[in-house]
Structure 1
Amino acid sequence: MTCWPRGTARRARRAHALATYVYLGILQGRPTGESLDILDNCAALAERHGDVHAASWTAHHRAMLATWRGEFAAAAELFEGARRAFRAAGLLDAEAECAVKPAIVHAYGGDAGTAARLCHEVPGVTETHGETWLRGLALFAESQLARRSRAPREAAEPDRPAIRLLRSFHDWWDIAMCVEVIAWSSAGEPRRAARLLGVLHLLWGAVGVSLSTAPRPPWTGHWSMSWTRHRPRPGNTPPRRSPGGGGRWRASSRRGSPTSRQPHSS
């Protein structure tokens, strides 16, 4: 459901709708080949109607798309441009979001120094306002730094507190990203890894994503699918119900993180 900013013209709503379409495609790991053309159309509509909200979110979505295309340097620049646009539009929560997401981008791209610096700066951005969702994203970025260094134990450690922070927002998409790292770190323990892949399957399914098409850093490949094919069958059986007891991992289609409000802000 999309809530349009007050006074949004009927024609301007097309920019919001198209931007949301592209964004959902990115989240589900299925951005179409025409995504960039659609975003160009969004930007043109936003400029024509003076819609700074749509223009700002379109810039954000360009950065997201560049990230999943493996264009990390471009993505970092696009996030910086989106951050400036959000600040100019008075969308300070979204500005903070674009100050944190580049940490993930730089971790994906192998710029460990910049990623670590940005993660270190997150508490200064969030603690003043009691914000925890972005802190969860920063912990996920820290896990990616360890993953790039092929350090399984160190990669899993930040994701556990990240999941605790993200669960209060019902942010199953980012939780799935964290669980994927923990599953990868458990590849030497077949049964544990298989259970985690079962959890991952449930989480991705809750947000309309399949395990084979889920977004992932390009350099990781489809490790989970390859692992499943080559491990002994008994260790590959996913759980019949959500593990954890009491619904700890019970997946839901609700998402309460700031990114569920695309492309507007409330």
Structure 2
Amino acid sequence: MGSQGRLAGKIALVTGGSRGIGAGIVRRFAAEGAKVAFTYRASADAARQIVEEIEVDGGNALAIEADSADAAAVERAVAGTADHFGGLDILVNNAGGGTPELIGEATLANYEHIFAVHVRAAFVAMNEAAKIMPAGGRIITIGSINARRLPFTYGALYSATKAALVGLTKGAARDLGPKGITVNVIEPGPIDTDLNPADGPWAAPALAALATGKFGEASDVAGLAAYLASEEGRFITGAELAIDGGYSI
């Protein structure tokens, strides 16, 4: 692992880090030299495998079971990371979930769940992290380009949460700027993951909207997150950063 990497000596927490984009960020941060904790809800085997991969390569990783729908579990994850590694320099809010529903058929229970996982969890994590982060800290939230553009049905609740994260990010950037902490939101477009495969049932309309003609990969998002988390990203804060292959053009 990268003892001389851009994140050497840093301590990071990635929520929802056992699969997809989150796992890509965990692996990239470890490769850049960070000690990385990450949360998972149900993918214990996948989480264990990621920890083993990182440790075999000489890195440091910690898997924390935590459901982001549970605010207390999110608080414990932040505290547990700091206790285990001795601090916290980087927070990545990545965990997601929820069931697509049409307006007119949607349930209040699903509304409350998706906002709890996407918005409340991000607020709780950054609020707790801000109490212990030193100057130079980084808070990065994984939003979605669907906060800006939603060319399909069943996405109202999802896109609403991602739009809310933009406002949360901008306000937090103002609040934490005097402390030397940056806060940004990354907005991926279609990314090839197990939950959103490039050959899946939702792929055709997404592909048609892409200027590149192909889905992105988790490593693309991870590279942008690593840049923001590094010293090179020190003057970027309150930003919405699209990484969408031209989806929003």
Q: Which TM class, normalised by the smaller chain length?
A: 0.3 to 0.5
Determine which structure has more spread, i.e. the larger CA radius of gyration.
1
Structure holding more strand per residue: 2
Give me the TM-score of the superposition, normalised by structure 1. 0.32
Give me the TM-score of the superposition, normalised by structure 2. 0.33
